[in-house]
Chains A and B, each alone.
Chain A
Amino acid sequence: MDHLRPVDSGSPSDDGEPGSEPGPAADLADLLRRAGRADEAAFARLYDATSSRVFGLALRVVRDPAQAEEVTQEAFLEIWRTAGRFDEDKGSPYAWILTITHRKAVDRVRSAEASTRRDTTYHQGNQPIDHDTTAEAVQASLEARRVRGALKTLTDVQQEAIGLAYFGGYTHTEVATMLDLPVGTAKTRIRDGLIRLRDALGVGS
């Protein structure tokens, strides 16, 4: 039978990409493509280039360093497994990688155990909601400063809604309750805020 399923190249060092390894700044898209062909060395370099971004996001969402490590591990395994499906025409490598990471992190905090713990914290604290506004972030990289500058162009509610959704892992319905917004308006704040952020940063069309 004529099996049409593509067969992966199998051997990690398959057809010997021309010996000249690209420099350390080899672009992530290329590393992903090679990872999709089971190139473990390329994947190691992808890890080195992106792991602090991935781990930092996971840590921010799940809070617990041990769990953040697990989420990072899961995310990279998924990145490895699906690298061949990355399509540069649909988005940047970072957006793709962090989408996977964020989803894993959110799944983690929404699991029953984590949500119990979180709810307890929330009801105890109640007043100062764990405002995960990005203004608290400590990183001082140039890019981070640029992002924070762009965040300042958002309204307070937009910033808070995005922070609670993205870094807090809360659903828009939960965000609405936490911010005392009418049901159904948090999603609009999140969307409007992201659009403003996108336009301020000049990314994604």
Chain B
Amino acid sequence: MTTPNDIHALSGAYAVDALDDIERASFERHLAECAECRAEVASLREASALLAETTDTAPPAALRDRVLADITKVRPLPPEIPETHPVRSRRGHGRGARLLAAAAAVVVLGGGAAAVWQQPWQDGTSEAPSATEAVLSAPDARSTSLDFPGGASATVTHSDSLGQAVIVTEKMPPPPEGKVYQLWLDQPGEGMVSAGLMPVKADQKVLLTGDAASATGAGITVEPEGGSTSPTSAPIALFDFGAKA
């Protein structure tokens, strides 16, 4: 039996959307790390979906035309994980965790709370713009883009010759109150190494600190204010740098 405070006990209520927004957000963070709960939620959703068999009702015929007209105006989203991104499991975050993390990002990104300005690059602000431009225009620049639910997107461009990477974001909502977006470089043998905090600004270009040439990828996590020395939550985005030349 589970205790009332046991977060695992929320799996059933989560499966039938019976959590309030705050509970849902915290349970989704838990889900990203708990394979057992993921499997349980999936199985309980199979069960609850069957409940809808008792309510079958044909919709009005006109609805079909409206739906089919609607979809002509909307582009299907690309698959969540670009096929050029091999699954990595260094930190135990497999594909499922990543998908769930992306699901959690819906909540995180939808939060819309005010946040504190973070500027870990204060000493380098004057040269940062030219450094970012240099990476973006480098002959060997390679980019990986991710779209978030809600219309935000992020693109990481890295140049092996310059050993640097830049993240460009669009329409990025502020992180939840008291949290920051932290950038990471995935370094072979070391795992995720902090690459700085992202300033709170919807559209921006930020140079990642650290050696992008040795890194195999980059990630974004939501961390407590001030950042963390290693990720404390599942990434909301992972960018694979692909095979080294």
Contact = CB atoms under 8 A, between A and B. Distances in A.
A84 B141 contact: no
B124 to A, nearest CB: 24
Interface in B54-97: 54-60, 63-64, 66-68, 70-72, 74-80, 82-85, 96
A interface residue count range (under 10 / 10 to 19 / 20 to 34 / 35 or more): 35 or more
A139 B53 contact: yes
B142 A198 contact: no
B42 A98 contact: no
Contacts of A80: 70-71, 74, 76
B162 interface: no
Interface in B26-42: 39, 42
A47 B67 CA distance: 9
Given A77-B71, A92-B46, A191-B11, A5 B16 contact: no
A187 B54 contact: no
Interface stretch (A19-27, A48-56, A114-122): A48-56
Contacts of A56: 52, 55-57
A159 to B, nearest CB: 11
Q: Taking each of B4, B9, B47, which has the highest tally of chain A beta carbons within 10 Å of its own beta carbon?
A: B47
Contacts of A55: 57-59, 63
Contacts of A54: 59
B144 interface: yes
Interface string B181-217: 0000000000000000000000000000000000000
A5 B72 CA distance: 22
Interface stretch (B17-25, B126-134, B220-228, B230-238): B17-25
Nearest to B10: A187
A29 interface: no
26 contacts: A4-B85, A4-B143, A8-B76, A51-B58, A51-B59, A56-B55, A56-B57, A60-B57, A72-B67, A81-B75, A91-B46, A101-B52, A134-B54, A137-B55, A139-B53, A139-B56, A144-B54, A147-B54, A162-B16, A162-B51, A171-B19, A188-B1, A188-B9, A188-B12, A197-B51, A198-B43
